[in-house]
């Protein structure tokens, strides 16, 4: 919302400077966004008098002027055709910045065709004060020497732009702004009287209200014999200053009152109306060609204004083309009605129309302002356009006043920590036009009808606190909580923290990628769930909530590779979405590697592969106190993984904790990235909760003095049997004694039958008491039997 | 017994001149072996009279000891020389690079700043709460006192999910405030929580991304007032920017879920590319806050006559930019390795109040 300082002063008697006003606005909660003060911009420029202008000796188009300025008499070389002796002009001293040319004059006098020039005389365009550039500004001779240029050009009115919060539609009028600035201590609020010009004749246009829930009150009047010429200069200047292009008296008056009083109006060419004007609900199939030239389909939910010809306007949103005023209009019907905010907002959203009227009505217009707004319009139109006014016709009743608010003065200190005298509270509430019934501990307050945000005591506390100033409130550090401070993170948050550090320490770069991905790509990761589709995506390829982070990581890795990055390792700890319920979100950590085989003088180092991905995953699991050997390695169950070179990590048959290995080459191709890529995705929610221990004390160390016994075993087994099964069955033979089993060789070829393989592993036995050779042998026999039973493997001789 | 002297002289001389361990071993055998010269002399002791034996015994034993010692000494010397020669021959060029491993990893600044913020508020007795990204309208708006159809909702540029049959569409939470509701619905006061998380608004330009990060704060107690809000947030800003003094101001503003509401500005100075927070000639808005609206408390079954408190919300991406000097928001979400290595944090960087945030 923009307004000018002089406009504000219509409603505010004050000695405050611009800076004071800005500070008071800030204090009261009117957040100033921009101030344009022409006085500041033009501070360097003052009025001068040209004593003599004579031709330049060496240039036909230049004149050498002797100029009386605030700096004394100056010689100025001027190229303007209108420079003449006796002229009153605008003087720019040496060094001045010329805004319209965007450069500063030299600080030293400059020779122009051999004649020194000590400054410049400016056109209005050079001062960004007008469009005139045919010559220098030619001012009224009565303006004294040294007058600031802004004043001389009538540009001494700063424009202030500020943010109107949705709770304060009354700030959409300059009057409302002035009221709050006065209450904040900025002067006296001036109630500007409205002249009544109404005539004796009844309003010739009949008003009917068929939908009082949408439009409960409607005031209207007709002026006959009006001339719709340009509006007065002062009105045009104010409208232009706040960015509104003047059109004609009738239109400008409605815009002006909307800005001055937050009171939208609409004007109809009364000769284009047929029959009564009706405010009713729309009917299916109806359309309106609105003032913006577009045709809108109307619905039964919208409040429309209609006459015998059909719909002629969308109530509180926009008028129609068929009854619009024009330069030829001589009879005007003025509408000053009140439209329901919610319905106006819905209509605005449905039609997509953004108008000043909608903006005001959906936030709330004072329902009691219909007649005042109408009278103000009548007075202004008749003053500048003439004509004969009818009696205003007011149909319906404004909606019931806002209910009374019970305010407990003690709440001010309870909620803000500040002690405020009751006389001060009373002063503020009166300035804000509340009516106070004092009942001791509780006050019953009637808010003014232009306020829609007053419901309970806390609302009043804010009014008092802000107008006293938040800087007056105490500043008190939060006391330590009762019972002291405890650990602040949940076990899940702790998992994320640990995981991130393990991944970064293993060479991975942390990313934060969109929670979105394209639906087409999401389909590569499993069945599409329509409830995860974003109905209004910011971009067409960000229209689905990701079921996996790997797609985003793969594309990021490809981008990095395109920039010449070799051996990209990325990870992200973040959400994935399995459905739209509050429990369908999972926190996962995904790692992705686009390998690069670095050369090395000792020979190629081991390349990143599915086993390396497994190592990274297991390092994370280990750090979370969940060593990888607790889990079973099984075939992948998700389609983004290579069916033969990736695996699911399971906890029992039902719970899948993670996947790791190589990503499916087909999926990568569909994502538009080059493979191979490897990685893992670990669902941190699927990991078992660690039981909270009753005590932090660790059990006593049970030292084992007996040295471990190590035995190598090799089995020949069917090629399809996972080596992990051999190890698992071997260990299962005696879980207490066998502390470890590590595969060190897998062999297929000569000496091993076709379709079979030899798997060799080292068993580590950790005896608790001395073992004899025959005990060890008996255990080995048990291992061989267990492996044979479980896998069909035969001990290799 | 000139023999003894001669043998000793000869033996010691040959030991001294033995060039390698093999030659020395030959000498040992020749002198001290079963058939060696010294051993031969020792054998003669058996045929001597007791007197002769008494005289010769110690002499011969001494001879044996001296030869033995000489051999051992020479052996140690030769072994040392041999080792030296061997090691010299094993020299490698250690200016060559080791086998390549992964380059250093790095932590994302936003995630790190989340932890910094948690450390500061943790020290003030807050715990960390979380909630889902996909919310229903009630948690994201209605319970937070956004009236239905009110324009305040429109300022949020909300993302809507495709509505399922018979259901109202879910929204992507536009702020972390719904977790206030979830916490108050399940937890009895006193409450002190912060809520870090992803939030979403349908806006994408130089200073907005459709996804960004917030930290919400909520304090619900019996006597906590707006002075505490000011104190708590000023304390936070000082701790976060790691400066001793911060000039701050609170301005009235409007948020549906707080009453009174305030925005907090801090003074700053721009020095070239860097921004110094705390003092200077300009104000910068850094967060929104206010006393929790009584309607919000009631919506969560808390009696506003008994309990009160404050809430605040801040944009983490911007706080990170201000503290660490990232000039642009957009690369946060681009996973560019160069950016992450440059602005990211070492894996072992763990923010704490006692150990320093950064």
Q: Which site among A412, A529, A580, A584 would you substitute to test the B interface, given the most B Cβ atoms closer than 10 Å to its Cβ?
A: A580
CB contact under 8 A, B225 and A26: no
Tell me chain B's radius of gyration from C-alpha atoms.
43
**Looking at the domain assignment, is residue B75 inside a domain?**
yes
- With an 8 Å Cβ cutoff, are B200 and A415 in contact? no
Q: How confident is the model at residue B2 (pLDDT cuts 50, 70, 90)?
A: low
Note whether A613 and A708 are within 8 A (CB): no
Over 90: is that where the pLDDT of B274 sits? no
Q: What is the pLDDT confidence band of residue B273, given thresholds at 50, 70 and 90?
A: confident
Q: Is A570 on the interface with B (CB under 8 A)?
A: yes
Which residues of chain A make contact with B148, given a CB cutoff of 8 A? 342
The domain A2-37+158-186: what is its CATH number?
A: 3.30.56.10
Question: CB of B175 within 8 A of CB of B93?
Answer: no
Pair (B7, B36) in one structural domain: yes
* B258 and B177 within one domain: yes
- CA-CA distance, B281 to B270, in Å (whole number)? 9
Mutation choice for A interface testing from B96, B105, B234 by most A CBs within 10 A: B105
B contacts of A573 (beta carbons < 8 Å): 111
- For residue A169, list chain B residues with Cβ-Cβ distance below 8 A: none
CATH number for the domain formed by residue range(s) A405-471: 3.30.56.10
| Closest to B149 (Cα-Cα) out of A454, A609, A347, A339 | A347
Looking at per-residue pLDDT, the higher value among B356 and B51 belongs to B51
- Is residue A257 very low, low, confident or very high in pLDDT (cuts 50, 70, 90)? very high
Domain stop point among B57, B88, B119: B88
User: Same domain, yes or no, for B248 and B138?
Assistant: yes
Least confident window among A133-137, A290-294, A425-429: A133-137
Return d(Cα A330, Cα A272) in angstroms, integer: 11
pLDDT at A669 over 80: yes
Interface probe for A, chosen from B147, B212, B252 (most Cβ of A below 10 Å), is B252
> CATH no. for residue B273?
3.30.930.10
Mean pLDDT, residues A513-533:
95
Decide if B230 and A474 are in contact by the 8 Å CB cutoff: yes
Q: Which residues of A touch B219 (CB under 8 A)?
A: 478
Q: Is beta strand B127-128 parallel, antiparallel or unpaired with respect to B191-200?
A: parallel
Beta pairing, strands A738-747 & A709-718: unpaired
Q: How far is CA A192 from the centre of its chain?
A: 38
Task: Give yes or no: residues B69 and B132 share one domain.
Answer: no
| SS3 assignment, position A628 | helix
CA nearest A679: which of A561, A595, A586? Answer: A595
Direct distance between the N- and C-terminal alpha carbons of chain A, in angstroms, rounded to an integer? 92
- The answer to whether the Cα torsion of B51, B55, B58, B64 is positive or negative is negative
Same domain, B161 and B73: no
Work out the mean pLDDT of chain A and round it to a whole number.
93
Contacts of A509 in chain B (CB under 8 A): 105-106, 335, 337, 340-341, 344
Residues B43 and B131 in one domain: no
Q: Which of A458, A471, A487 sits opposite B293 (nearest CB)?
A: A458
The answer, for A456 touching chain B at a CB cutoff of 8 Å, is yes
Closest residue in chain B to residue A560, using alpha carbons only: B336
Which A residues, 527 through 556, put their C-beta within 8 Å of a C-beta on chain B? 530-539, 542, 545, 552-553, 556
Q: Is residue B115 part of a domain?
A: yes
Number of CB pairs < 8 Å for A and B?
A: 289
Mutate to test the interface with A, among B117, B251, B296, B298 (most CBs of A within 10 A): B251
Closest residue on chain B to A554 (Cα): B335
What is the CATH code of the structural domain delimited by A491-683? 3.30.930.10
Instruction: Give me the pLDDT at residue B228, please.
Output: 97
Return residues 396-425 of A near B (CB < 8 Å).
413-418
pLDDT score of B56: 85
Quote the DSSP letter at residue A176: H
Contact list, B144 vs chain A (CB under 8 Å): none
Which residue in A has a C-alpha nearest to residue B167's C-alpha? A531
Distance from CA of A513 to the nearest CA of B (A): 5
pLDDT, tens digit (0-9, with 9 covering 90-100), for A324-372? 999 999 999 999 999 999 999 999 999 999 999 999 999 999 999 999 9
Cβ neighbors of A283 (< 8 A, separation 6 or more) are A298, A300
CB A288 within 8 A of CB A320: yes
- The domain limits of chain A are 2-37+158-186, 40-152, 207-396, 405-471, 491-683, 709-795
| pLDDT of A130 higher than 80 | no
Which pTM was predicted? Answer: 0.86
Q: Is residue B97 part of a domain?
A: no
Q: In this model, does residue B354 exceed pLDDT 60?
A: yes
Residue B193 lies in a domain: yes
Interchain contact A177–B (C-beta under 8 A): no
- For chain B, how many helices (H) and strands (E)? 12, 10
Residue B352 located in a structural domain = no
Could you tell me the two tokens for A651?
């906890």
Domain-ending residue, one of B55, B88, B121: B88
Report yes or no on B162 lying in a domain.
yes
B272 touches chain A (CB under 8 A): no
Distance from CA of A576 to the nearest CA of B (A): 10
Given a cut of 90, whether residue A157 has pLDDT beyond it is no
Q: Is the residue at B152 inside a domain? A: yes
CATH of A40-152, one of 3.40.50.2300, 2.60.40.1120, 2.60.420.10, 2.40.50.140: 2.40.50.140
Same domain, B76 and B133: no
Q: Is A797 near chain B, with CB under 8 Å?
A: no
Stretch (H or E) spanning B226: helix B226-241
CA A83 from chain center: how many Å? 53
The three-state secondary structure class of B69 is helix
Q: Which residue in chain B has the smallest CA separation from A490?
A: B128
Q: Among candidates A652, A507, A655, which has minimal Cα distance to A568?
A: A507
Distance from CA of A500 to the nearest CA of B (A): 7
Q: What is the pLDDT of residue B133?
A: 96
Q: What is the pLDDT of residue A334?
A: 97
Q: Residue A403 burial (CB < 10 Å; 0-12/13-18/19+)?
A: exposed
Calculate the CA B61 to chain-centre distance.
70
Question: What is the spatial distance between Cα B184 and Cα B190, in angstroms, rounded to a whole number?
Answer: 10
Select the residue of A500, A582, A584 nearest B111 (Cβ to Cβ).
Answer: A500
Q: How far apart are CA A317 and CA A345, in angstroms?
A: 9
Phi, psi of A746 (to 5 degrees): -130, 130
Residues B337 and B307 in one domain: yes
- What sign has the CA pseudo-torsion B128, B133, B139, B142? positive
Backbone angles phi and psi of A195, in degrees to 5:
-70, 140
Distance CA B350, CA B358 (A): 8
Yes or no: domain A207-396 corresponds to CATH 3.50.40.10: yes
* H or E element, residue A182: none
Mean pLDDT of A595-611: 86
- Do residue B188 and residue B149 come from a single domain? yes
Same domain, B121 and B80: no
**Whole-number pLDDT of residue A277:** 96
Domain closes at, from B54, B88, B122: B88
Per-residue pLDDT tens digits for A372-407 = 999 999 999 999 999 999 999 999 999 877 689 999
**Residue B355 within a domain:** no
Q: What is the mean pLDDT of residues A289-301?
A: 94
| pLDDT for res B7 | 86
Interchain contact B118–A (C-beta under 8 A): yes
Cα–Cα distance, A728 to A787 (Å, whole number): 9
Tell me the residue range of the domain where B71 lies.
2-88
Q: Please tell me if the domain spanning A2-37+158-186 has the same topology as the one spanning A207-396.
A: no
Residue A500 clears pLDDT 70, i.e. is over it: yes
Q: How many CB atoms lie within 10 A of CB B329?
A: 18
Domains: count for chain B: 2
Q: What is the ipTM of this complex?
A: 0.88
Give the distance from residue B104's alpha carbon to the nearest chain A alpha carbon, in angstroms: 5
Q: In sequence order, what are the residues at sequence separation of 6 or more whose Cβ sits closer than 8 angstroms to the Cβ of residue B355?
A: none
Residues B206 and B59 in one domain: no
User: Which 3 state secondary structure label does DSSP give A430?
Assistant: helix
- For B9-45, what is each residue's pLDDT tens digit? 888 999 999 889 899 999 999 988 888 888 888 888 8
Is pLDDT above 80 for B358? no
What separation in angstroms does the CA of A80 have from each of A75, A102, A140, A194, A779? 15, 19, 18, 48, 113
Q: What is the pLDDT of residues A217-243, one digit of tens each?
A: 999 999 999 999 999 989 998 998 898
Task: Judge whether A716 and A777 are in contact, CB under 8 Å.
Answer: no
Of A342, A478, A605, the CB nearest to B100: A605
- pLDDT at residue B235, rounded to an integer: 95
Is B180 in the same domain as B66? no
Q: Which CATH architecture has domain A709-795?
A: 2-Layer Sandwich (3.30)
State residue A131's pLDDT score: 65
pLDDT of residue B52: 86
The residue of B98, B246, B254 whose CB has the most chain A CBs within 10 angstroms, and thus the best one to mutate to test that interface, is: B254
A459 is annotated as contributing to ligand binding: yes
How would you classify residue A691: left for phi > 0, otherwise alpha for psi between -120 and 50, otherwise beta?
beta
**Of chain B residues 164-183, which have a CB less than 8 A from chain A?**
164, 169-170, 172
CB B311 within 8 Å of CB B331: no
């Amino acid at each position: 919302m923009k307004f000018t300082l002089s406009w504000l002063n219509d409603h505010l008697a004050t000695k405050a400077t611009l800076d004071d006003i800005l500070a008071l606005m800030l204090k009261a909660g009117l957040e100033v966004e921009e101030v344009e003060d022409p006085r500041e911009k033009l501070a360097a420029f003052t009025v001068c008098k040209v004593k003599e202008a004579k031709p330049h000796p060496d240039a036909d188009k230049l004149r050498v002027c002797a100029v009386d300025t605030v700096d004394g008499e100056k010689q100025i070389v001027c190229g303007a055709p209108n420079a003449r002796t006796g002229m009153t002009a605008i003087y720019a001293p040496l060094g001045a910045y010329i805004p319209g040319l965007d450069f500063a004059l030299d600080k030293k006098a400059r020779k122009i065709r051999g004649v020194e020039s000590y400054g410049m005389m400016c056109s209005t365009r050079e001062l960004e004060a007008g469009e005139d550039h045919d010559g220098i500004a030619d001012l009224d001779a009565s303006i004294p020497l040294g007058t600031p240029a802004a004043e001389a050009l009538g540009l001494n009115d700063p424009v202030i732009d500020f943010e109107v919060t949705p709770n304060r539609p009354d700030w959409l009028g300059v009057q409302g702004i002035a009221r709050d600035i006065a209450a904040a201590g900025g002067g006296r609020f001036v109630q500007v009287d409205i002249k009544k010009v109404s005539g004796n004749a009844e309003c010739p246009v009949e008003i009917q209200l068929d939908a009082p829930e949408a439009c409960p009150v409607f005031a209207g009047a007709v002026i006959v014999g009006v001339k719709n010429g340009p509006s007065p200069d002062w009105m045009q200047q104010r409208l232009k200053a706040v960015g509104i292009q003047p059109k004609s008296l009738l239109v400008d008056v409605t815009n002006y009152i909307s800005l001055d009083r937050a009171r939208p109006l609409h004007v109809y060419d009364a000769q284009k109306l047929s029959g009564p004007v009706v405010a009713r609900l729309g009917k299916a199939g109806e359309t309106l060609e609105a003032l913006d030239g577009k045709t809108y389909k109307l619905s039964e939910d919208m409040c429309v204004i209609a006459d015998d010809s059909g719909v002629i306007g969308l109530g509180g949103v926009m008028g129609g083309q068929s009854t619009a005023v024009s330069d030829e209009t001589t009879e005007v019907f003025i509408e000053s009605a009140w439209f329901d905010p919610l319905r106006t907002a819905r209509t605005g959203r449905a039609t997509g129309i953004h108008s000043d009227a909608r903006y005001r009505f959906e936030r709330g217009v004072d329902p009691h302002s219909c007649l005042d707004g109408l009278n103000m319009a009548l007075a202004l139109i008749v003053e500048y356009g003439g004509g004969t006014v009818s009696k205003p016709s007011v149909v319906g009743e404004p909606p019931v006043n806002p209910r009374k608010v019970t305010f407990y003065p003690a709440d001010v200190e309870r909620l803000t920590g500040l002690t405020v005298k009751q006389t001060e509270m009373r002063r503020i509430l009166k300035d804000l036009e509340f009516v106070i019934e004092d009942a001791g501990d509780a006050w019953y307050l009637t808010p003014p009808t232009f306020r829609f945000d007053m419901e309970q005591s806390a609302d009043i506390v804010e009014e008092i606190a802000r107008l006293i100033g938040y800087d007056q409130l105490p500043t008190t550090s939060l006391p330590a909580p009762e019972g002291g401070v405890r650990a602040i993170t949940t076990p899940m948050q702790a998992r994320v923290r640990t995981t991130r550090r393990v991944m970064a320490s293993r060479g991975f770069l942390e990313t934060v990628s969109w929670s979105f991905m394209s639906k087409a790509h999401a389909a590569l990761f499993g069945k599409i769930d329509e409830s995860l589709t974003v109905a209004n995506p910011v971009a067409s390829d960000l229209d689905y909530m990701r079921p996996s982070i790997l797609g985003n990581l793969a594309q990021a890795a490809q981008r990095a590779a395109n920039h010449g990055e070799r051996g990209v390792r990325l990870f992200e700890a973040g959400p994935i979405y399995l459905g739209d319920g509050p429990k369908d979100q999972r926190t996962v950590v995904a790692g992705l590697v686009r390998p690069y085989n670095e050369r090395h003088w000792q020979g190629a180092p081991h390349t990143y592969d599915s086993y390396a991905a497994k190592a990274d995953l297991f390092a994370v699991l280990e750090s979370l106190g969940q060593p990888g050997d607790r889990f079973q390695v099984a075939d992948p169950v998700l389609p983004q993984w290579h069916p033969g070179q990736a695996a699911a990590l399971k906890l029992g048959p039902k719970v899948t904790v993670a996947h790791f290995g190589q990503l499916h080459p087909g999926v990568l191709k569909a994502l538009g990235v080059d493979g191979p890529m490897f990685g893992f995705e670990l669902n941190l929610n699927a990991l078992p909760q660690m039981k909270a221990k009753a005590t932090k004390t660790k059990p006593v160390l049970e030292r084992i003095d007996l040295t471990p016994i190590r035995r190598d075993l090799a089995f020949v087994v069917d090629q399809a049997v996972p080596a992990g099964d051999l190890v698992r069955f071997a260990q299962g033979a005696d879980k207490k004694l066998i502390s470890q089993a590590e595969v060190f060789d897998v062999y297929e070829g000569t000496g091993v039958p076709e379709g079979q393989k030899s798997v060799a592993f080292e068993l580590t036995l950790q005896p608790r008491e001395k073992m004899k050779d025959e005990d060890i042998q008996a255990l080995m026999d048990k291992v061989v039997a267990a492996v044979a039973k479980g896998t069909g493997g035969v001990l290799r001789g | 017994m000139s023999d003894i002297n001669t043998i000793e002289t000869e033996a010691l001389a040959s030991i001294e001149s033995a060039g390698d361990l093999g030659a020395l071993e030959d000498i040992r055998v020749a002198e001290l072996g079963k058939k060696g010269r010294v051993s031969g002399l020792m054998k003669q002791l058996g045929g001597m009279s007791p007197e002769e034996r008494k005289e010769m015994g110690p002499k011969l034993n001494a001879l044996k000891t001296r030869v033995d010692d000489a051999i051992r000494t020479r052996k140690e010397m030769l072994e040392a020389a041999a080792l030296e020669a061997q090691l010299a021959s094993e020299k490698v060029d250690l200016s060559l690079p080791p086998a390549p491993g992964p380059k250093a990893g790095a932590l994302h600044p936003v995630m790190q700043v989340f932890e910094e913020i948690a450390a500061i508020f943790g020290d003030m007795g807050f715990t960390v709460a979380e909630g889902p990204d996909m919310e229903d309208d009630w948690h994201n708006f209605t319970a937070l006192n956004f009236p239905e159809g009110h324009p305040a909702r429109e300022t949020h540029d909300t993302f809507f999910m495709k509505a399922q049959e018979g259901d109202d569409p879910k929204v992507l939470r536009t702020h972390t405030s719904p977790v206030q509701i979830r916490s108050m619905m399940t937890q009895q006061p006193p409450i002190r929580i912060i809520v870090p998380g992803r939030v979403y608004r349908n806006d994408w330009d130089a200073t907005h991304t459709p996804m960004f990060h917030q930290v919400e704060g909520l304090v619900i107690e019996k006597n906590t007032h707006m002075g505490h809000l000011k104190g708590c947030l000023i304390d936070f800003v000082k701790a976060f920017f790691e400066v001793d003094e911060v000039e701050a101001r609170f301005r009235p503003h409007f948020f549906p879920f707080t009453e009174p509401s305030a925005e907090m500005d801090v003074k700053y100075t721009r020095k070239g590319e860097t921004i110094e927070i705390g003092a200077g000639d300009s104000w910068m808005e850094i967060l929104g806050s206010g006393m929790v609206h009584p309607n919000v408390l009631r919506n969560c079954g808390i009696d506003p006559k008994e309990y009160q408190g404050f809430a605040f919300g801040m944009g983490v991406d911007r706080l990170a930019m201000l503290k660490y000097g990232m000039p642009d928001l957009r690369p946060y979400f681009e996973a560019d390795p160069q950016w992450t290595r440059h602005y990211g944090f070492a894996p072992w960087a763990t923010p704490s109040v006692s150990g320093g945030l950064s």
